[in-house]
Structure 1
Amino acid sequence: MTNPVTSAPRPFGRALCAMVTPFTEAGALDLPGAQLLAARLVSEGCDGLVLSGTTGESPTTSDAEKAALVTAVREAVGDGVPLVSGVGTSDTRHTVELARQAEQAGSDGVLVVSPYYSRPPQDALEAHFREVADASGLPLMLYDIPGRTGTRIEPETLIRLAEHPRIVAVKDCSYDFLGTQKVLGRTDLAYYAGCDEHILALYAVGAAGYVSTVANVVPARLRSVLDAFEAGDTHVAARLQQRATPLVELMMAAGLPGTVTAKALLNSLGLPGGSVRAPLRAAGRDAVDGLVAAYEEFITG
């Protein structure tokens, strides 16, 4: 009998980190810091990195900064590590330009979120993704996160888009487990859990892996969930996922954006993170203390 996990397509690997974009205290792009962080993430178990996504503060980085980040990280991790660049904007033309720029800078794929604010209907959304897919030679990971964009990529739309040869993956933050299983059962799209609490649940039904914000601080611990499940140690995998829950909740569901909490922890650990750009604001002292306590309990438990 075919194992749905080992047979799942993995165009960008299994364990991906939605990497923060390190800034200096003055707010400038910190390329040496990005290189140090990227190298650490790969050395501690990340198969690939997603740059300039939500966690990477893509709305407040310039096109030139996005390209420079890809170039610097590629230099740090080498050619064998998949790099996926966030290129989604609310403007199809701009998204096309960013996809072409990402290809020229050395990305292996692009992450394309639904156009936000304008909330296009499904036929317009489908046309948007197809136009981006046709614009470069890079494979696409669609980003389904209606809580931020206001628009769901409906399962039937995903099933049609899966027919495009360069639309190969989905970062799933839909919170629609039934819809996700429907698409998994009818397409070859590689699904990546975009919500850390869903890593094991999605993997168990055939997802490719995850794109994680929490992996910025505990890359090896999250990868161990997948490793245990693949080894057949399902009870161990469940226990590891459960042990991550307090940290996941504090980083992702306690009122602060994941970018803010990830950078707060990285800075506390002496790792590259730096400031966040407005309109985001740094975590307060109480929040930082709580995050550090949850992190220490997780890694020592």
Structure 2
Amino acid sequence: MFGGSMVALVTPMKVSGEVDFGALERLIAFHVEQGTQALIVAGTTGESPTLKTDEHAELIGEAVRLAGGKIPVIAGTGSNSTDQTLHLTRKVEKMGVDGFLLVVPYYNKPSQEGLYQHFRTVAEQVDKPVILYNVPGRTSCDLLPETVARLAELETVVGIKEATGDMQRLEDLKARCGDRLELYTGDDATAMEFMLRGGIGDVSVTANVAPAAMQALCEAARAGDREKAAAINAKLMPLHEDLFIESNPVPVKWALAEMGLIEPGIRLPLVPLSAQYHDRVRQALRTAGVLD
């Protein structure tokens, strides 16, 4: 259903902190032109925790309008409240999104049964495809493969973004879910290996700044061409690493501003990239061939 390089899109903001819809239009046009396969809007990289509910919905609706059917829009609507997640998901479903990315509830650390009931409650009340999102490094809660297998029985649950970077986790999910679930990675540094082993896409931070190269990497890895994929990945590895030198999306928003695509706006409690890392991220952009 989805696959390839799926950008975890930043939410462009003006220096004042307000959402910059003009820059959003530029970013979406950039990704359409460069071959990105899907837009993930208002996820972790999109600073979803700082978006007001109405603003969150407006951002997603505007992304759908600007995409104009040229590229799928997957809406990040998950939170640590089941009621809030369901309310927002149903609200934006009417806006024409192509699917939803629902993160594991963070901070409250539910049991596996609680996780199952959370996702089931939402998935059974929407018609569009649902992608689960497991990122225990952020949520302090791990959606285990046995729970994923239960959720894969639900009609609208079509995939999982597994961001642990653990190849054994991938193998476990494949064994338990077979063809019932599409497997995406959320870890750029291990994305090549993930797709060579049968994953079908990467929800990518690196794709914000190097979309064409990330799509080429995904195509080579999915085709089983390790040599070609490795050559592309070697040029991108400094970005895979240095775009996380401070908390995401701090480095990638600085990089996009350096490329002239957005203003350097970001919302508290995040602050702009520390000056000591500017040259390092700038060099990673040059190595990837996206900055002169």
Aligned pair partner of 2:102 in 102, 108, 112 = 112
AA paired with 1:215?
A
1:16 partner SS = strand
Shift of the 23–300 alpha-carbon distance from structure 1 to 2, 3 Å rule, reads closer
Q: 2: distance between equivalents of 1:134 and 1:225?
A: 35
Counterpart of 2:231 in structure 1 is 239
Q: Are the equivalent residues in 1 in contact too, given 2:79–2:103 (CA < 8 A)?
A: yes
Q: Are the equivalent residues in 2 in contact too, given 1:99–1:135 (CA < 8 A)?
A: no
Matches within 5 A, 1:29-108: 29-108=19-98
AA paired with 1:233?
D
Q: Are the equivalent residues in 1 in contact too, given 2:202–2:218 (CA < 8 A)?
A: no
CA RMSD of aligned residues (A): 1.6
Q: Are the equivalent residues in 1 in contact too, given 2:238–2:287 (CA < 8 A)?
A: no
Segments of structure 2 that go 5 or more residues without pairing to the other structure are none
> Deviation per CA, 1:141-166, whole angstroms, max 9, x where unpaired?
10000111111000100111100010
TM-fit CA distance, 1:294 = 1.5
Aligned pair partner of 1:195 in 187, 203, 222 = 187
1:130 maps to 2:142 = no
Q: 2: distance between equivalents of 1:213 and 1:231?
A: 22
Counterpart of 2:152 in structure 1 is 162
Counterpart of 1:226 in structure 2 is 218
1:151 maps to 2:165 = no
Q: Which moved more, 1:92-101 or 1:286-295?
A: 286-295
TM-fit CA distance, 1:229 = 3.2
2:269 partner SS = coil
Q: Are the equivalent residues in 2 in contact too, given 1:70–1:106 (CA < 8 A)?
A: no
2:40 partner SS = strand
Matches within 5 A, 1:173-212: 173-187=163-177, 188-212=180-204
Counterpart of 2:260 in structure 1 is 270
> What TM-score comes out, normalization by structure 1 length?
0.92
Q: 2: distance between equivalents of 1:125 and 1:66?
A: 23
Percentage of matched positions with identical amino acids: 34
Q: Which moved more, 1:52-61 or 1:243-252?
A: 243-252
2:249 partner SS = helix
AA paired with 1:71?
G
> Deviation per CA, 1:190-249, whole angstroms, max 9, x where unpaired?
111101012111111211110001110000111111222345532111121122111211
Q: Are the equivalent residues in 1 in contact too, given 2:82–2:122 (CA < 8 A)?
A: yes
Shift of the 163–285 alpha-carbon distance from structure 1 to 2, 3 Å rule, reads same
Q: 1: distance between equivalents of 2:231 and 2:116?
A: 39
Counterpart of 1:13 in structure 2 is 3
Shift of the 59–287 alpha-carbon distance from structure 1 to 2, 3 Å rule, reads same
Q: 2: distance between equivalents of 1:216 and 1:175?
A: 19
Q: Which moved more, 1:92-101 or 1:227-236?
A: 227-236
Counterpart of 1:5 in structure 2 is none
1:258 partner SS = coil
Q: Are the equivalent residues in 2 in contact too, given 1:15–1:209 (CA < 8 A)?
A: yes
Counterpart of 1:281 in structure 2 is 271
> What TM-score comes out, normalization by structure 2 length?
0.95
Q: 2: distance between equivalents of 1:230 and 1:14?
A: 8
Segments of structure 1 that go 5 or more residues without pairing to the other structure are 1-10
> Deviation per CA, 1:120-151, whole angstroms, max 9, x where unpaired?
00011100000010121121110000111111
TM-fit CA distance, 1:270 = 0.6
Q: 2: distance between equivalents of 1:272 and 1:285?
A: 18
Q: 2: distance between equivalents of 1:117 and 1:230?
A: 35
Shift of the 108–273 alpha-carbon distance from structure 1 to 2, 3 Å rule, reads farther
